[in-house]
Amino acid sequence: MPTEATSSNRAAGLLYAAVIFLGAFLLFLIEPLLAKVILPWFGGSASVWATCLVFFQSTLLLGYAYADFTTRRFSPRQLSSFHVILLLASLALLPITPGAHWRPAPGGDPAWRILALLATSIGLPFLLLSVTSPLVQSWYARRRPGAQPYHLFALSNLASFLALLSYPFLIEPRTATDAQLHGWSWLYLAFVAFCAAAAWISRSAAVPEPSPAAGAAEADAPPELRTRLLWLALSACGSMLLLSVTNHLTQNVAPIPLLWVLPLALYLLTFAMAFNRRSLYSHWLMVRLLAVMLGALGYAIYEPSFAEKLQVSVPLFGAGLFVCCLFCHGELYRLRPAASQLTRYYLTISLGGALGAIFVGLVAPYIFRNVYEFPLTLLVTALFALFALWREGWLARIFWSAAAVAMAVVLVLNIRARREDSIVMVRNFYAALRVTETKDDGRVIRTLLHGTIDHGEEFMDPAKHLLPISYYGPDSGVALALNKCCEGPKKFGVIGLGTGTLAAFGKAGDTVRYYEINPQVVAIARNSFYFLRETPAKVELVLGDARLSLEREEPQQFDVLAVDAFSGDAIPVHLLTREAVALYFRHLKPDGILAIHTSNTYLDLAPIVKQIADQAGVFATLISNDDDDENMISTSDWVLLTKNKSFAALPEIADAAEPIVVPPKLRLWTDSYNNLFYILKPIVWRKKAEDEQ
């Protein structure tokens, strides 16, 4: 028959498990939610999520430091009382609502502003959620001496994994962000109640610890320095892999929660698998899989065309992240210490995670002129594998030394490939940009690239400096809008500068007003291209996020406003909401034209714009043009919106117009609701179309 003490311990164990599960669930639910809320304030840049991850990892480190310090320095009664006080104090920040006064001013450092914003809006609750897993595990270990609490760490990671998957698939598609923030706040209130109860029953060491058995002192001794360094290195490596893969996906697809949480979910799943009571980590298997994946990822970096398609890149980089992180975290579990060293162990793991995130999220954009951290991380992974497996014999040493050399070669080749033909390479919070100069049939062409995406081209022949090419050919939607909108001098606005190609449409007496968030794009357009310098039109440049700038300005009375803001192949979604379109029309003349560039490899954006236009009662049509390699014209899709019926009836517009089909499940995009799941282009359709070409 179970004794009263046994029943009490079982009930306490269930409470501890519930607190850890709910705390971890809330911790990783608020991450994509808050990042989505502040994303529009910082231009929709993919770096917003990377900076958020730096904050989350750093706060996690503070939480683990709190757990380590308080469990060593405070008595159980003191710790429980102090923790409950902090829990109650954190309720003052509910509901979680980031203040609009944190919106950036032009020219400021976005990364530090994001960190300050998150610290003031969610700092204390996030810290207390971060400390929950190691702190409650220490309470569990004290209450049940000799029991291993590592399965609770696996439970924590499982809850985190479920939270991350539930957000893009269950929560984001069904609820507005305001409702999500309030719902999270109510759940946090429940967490505070459960955690306070767990703290109360942990006010004393309920079960006295048994006398140490022979050899126990040796088992509880602090691990050697090599082991502690491996804790740090393996954790940092996993974190660097997480951010590097996430950056690759979000910069070249879209900065959206779906692609934020996929890598993070895989990262957490590897923790849950490695730290489960019956660990699912096989050292023999993972060492071999790691070698295979490093080779595959290295080849994908060396030959970018190998993984340029979504159906290849997402599975490949996802599998690579999973295998590499499972190796790192599985080795961490193999090196785990006795329960007495638990908080110090978790603190070291958290420190490594924070250092890896800080390097990729904050340091790399300022010390590298292009995105080199992914191949660098693969090299670091091979080196850490060599260090971790050094004691497995000379064969392992030779193999992993060779692997490290191979990854070093990949890194060097990647750097050389990026520098080839490049006359400018710059990088900041918003983008990694290159300007290349190449020859094509005797013509010298200068191109602005973000990653692999073309952001504009120009002929270097002085006679052709003002010839618009790329996405802006004479049959493109924006060209038709600018050429057919009105007679006489016109004023047109452009959101997104690029190379400044649209200035080529300006004539004497015209005014073109650009809105650009990235100061490095402005410098490149002015110094490396001729559109802005040679156009006869008057050019105005406004630095800062376009929506924030337009909100501050009086109506500009544009004849045409072109929305052409890209970040890699990603679209800042806050520029395509009902409120954004209403703002654009406030700055247009009554008969003005709004031209929205919807060309995208992965997303079918035209239905979004069409639905907003229908709701606003304005005309909308899709204008597409085909490639013309001889004249350097790229295929492009533009949606034109206007209240001007005579413009819509022009033969040039009517003949070029294409119907836009709105999916039945598509919801109207607003500032509080947007979801890209229903506008992802079916991969099989795109592949079929490509095969037919």
Least confident of 250-264, 449-463, 484-498: 250-264
- Are domains 1-204 and 224-420 of this chain identical in fold? yes
Per-residue confidence (pLDDT) for residue 155, from 0 to 100: 86
Q: Domain residues of the chain, as ranges?
A: 1-204, 224-420, 432-692
CATH of domain 224-420: 1.20.1250
Q: Work out the pLDDT band at 98, boundaries 50, 70, 90.
A: confident
Least confident of 19-28, 140-149, 270-279, 424-433: 140-149
Q: Which residue has the tokens 């970018």?
A: 304
What's CA 314's distance to the chain center, in Å? 14
- φ, ψ (nearest 5 deg) of residue 421: 65, 0
pLDDT of residue 208 exceeding 50, the answer is: no
The Cα–Cα gap between 439 and 496 comes to: 27
Least confident of 510-514, 526-530, 562-566, 581-585: 562-566
The Cα–Cα gap between 365 and 367 comes to: 6
* Beta strand spans in 152-264 (E): none
Q: Work out the pLDDT band at 688, boundaries 50, 70, 90.
A: very low
Over residues 153-178, the pLDDT tens digits come to 788 888 988 998 898 888 988 888 88
The Cα–Cα gap between 640 and 559 comes to: 13
Over residues 534-559, the pLDDT tens digits come to 999 999 999 988 988 999 999 999 99
The Cα–Cα gap between 348 and 231 comes to: 6
In order of 2, 127, 185, 347, 551, the CA distances from 64 in angstroms are 35, 9, 23, 5, 42
The Cα–Cα gap between 683 and 679 comes to: 12
Q: Work out the pLDDT band at 212, boundaries 50, 70, 90.
A: very low
The Cα–Cα gap between 674 and 40 comes to: 12
Residues 6+ apart with CB under 8 A from 442: none
The Cα–Cα gap between 620 and 612 comes to: 9
Q: Which residue has the tokens 């669930």?
A: 25
pLDDT of residue 567 exceeding 70, the answer is: no
Per-residue confidence (pLDDT) for residue 420, from 0 to 100: 77
The Cα–Cα gap between 584 and 607 comes to: 18
Residue type, 330: G
- φ, ψ (nearest 5 deg) of residue 176: -80, 160
Over residues 290-317, the pLDDT tens digits come to 888 888 888 888 777 776 677 788 889 9
Per-residue confidence (pLDDT) for residue 693, from 0 to 100: 42
Helices marked H in 470-530? 477-484, 519-527
Sign of the dihedral through C-alpha 468, 470, 476, 481: negative
Per-residue confidence (pLDDT) for residue 622, from 0 to 100: 96
The Cα–Cα gap between 385 and 403 comes to: 9
The residue-averaged pLDDT of 512-525 equals 95
What pTM was computed for the model? 0.84
pLDDT of residue 683 exceeding 50, the answer is: no
Burial 60-88 (b: 16+ CB within 10 A, else e): bbbbbbbbbebbeeeebeebbeebbeebe
The Cα–Cα gap between 11 and 151 comes to: 17
Helices marked H in 361-503? 364-367, 373-388, 394-419, 477-484
SS3 466: coil
pLDDT above 70 as % of the chain: 90
pLDDT of residue 97 exceeding 60, the answer is: yes
Per-residue confidence (pLDDT) for residue 278, from 0 to 100: 67
What's CA 593's distance to the chain center, in Å? 33
Q: How many residues does the chain have?
A: 693
Q: Work out the pLDDT band at 211, boundaries 50, 70, 90.
A: very low
Over residues 233-242, the pLDDT tens digits come to 999 999 999 9
- φ, ψ (nearest 5 deg) of residue 561: -125, 120
Q: Tell me which of 269 and 678 has the higher pLDDT.
A: 269
As given in the structure block, the two tokens for residue 199 are 């703290």
The Cα–Cα gap between 313 and 299 comes to: 12
Over residues 326-371, the pLDDT tens digits come to 999 998 988 888 777 877 888 899 999 999 999 998 898 888 888 8
CA nearest 578: which of 672, 675, 669, 676? 669
pLDDT of residue 615 exceeding 50, the answer is: yes
At 174, which helix (H) or strand (E)? none
As given in the structure block, the two tokens for residue 530 are 């001729």
- Contact yes or no for 638/621 (Cβ under 8 A): no
The residue-averaged pLDDT of 84-112 equals 83
Burial of 239 by CB count in 10 Å (0-12 exposed, 13-18 middle, 19+ buried)? buried
CATH of domain 432-692: 3.40.50.150
Per-residue confidence (pLDDT) for residue 491, from 0 to 100: 96
Question: Beta partners for 457?
Answer: 447
Q: Tell me which of 23 and 298 has the higher pLDDT.
A: 23
Per-residue confidence (pLDDT) for residue 533, from 0 to 100: 96
pLDDT of residue 593 exceeding 90, the answer is: yes
Mean pLDDT of all residues belonging to the chain:
85
CA nearest 123: which of 149, 156, 92? 92
- Bridge-based pairing state of the strands 657-658 and 511-516: unpaired
Whether omega before 257 lies within 30 degrees of 0, making that bond cis, reads no
Per-residue confidence (pLDDT) for residue 3, from 0 to 100: 55
pLDDT of residue 664 exceeding 90, the answer is: no
CATH of domain 1-204: 1.20.1250.20
Over residues 230-272, the pLDDT tens digits come to 899 999 999 999 999 888 777 655 556 667 778 988 998 898 8
Over residues 32-84, the pLDDT tens digits come to 899 888 887 887 777 788 888 899 989 988 988 998 888 888 888 888 899 99
Q: Work out the pLDDT band at 217, boundaries 50, 70, 90.
A: very low
Question: Beta partners for 511?
Answer: 491, 538
- Contact yes or no for 560/512 (Cβ under 8 A): no
SS3 443: strand
